[in-house]
């Protein structure tokens, strides 16, 4: 059970990291578009 929960936790963390990177890229794209 612990192994399952840790695997799920890792998946959730990876998903959050991917989502954060997408949001970061989106924001940087908006900023560069506004600056130029």
Q: Which of 34, 14, 12 is nearest to 26 (CA)?
A: 34
Q: pLDDT 10s digit of each residue in the chain, 36 long?
A: 567 788 888 888 898 888 989 999 998 988 888 775
Q: pTM of the predicted model, to two decimals?
A: 0.48
Residue 5: what pLDDT?
81
Residue 36: what pLDDT?
58
Residue 30: what pLDDT?
87
Residue 3: what pLDDT?
73
């Amino acid at each position: 059970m612990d192994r399952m929960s840790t695997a799920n936790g890792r998946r959730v963390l990876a998903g959050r990291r991917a989502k954060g990177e997408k949001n970061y890229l989106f924001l940087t794209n908006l900023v560069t578009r506004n600056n130029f």
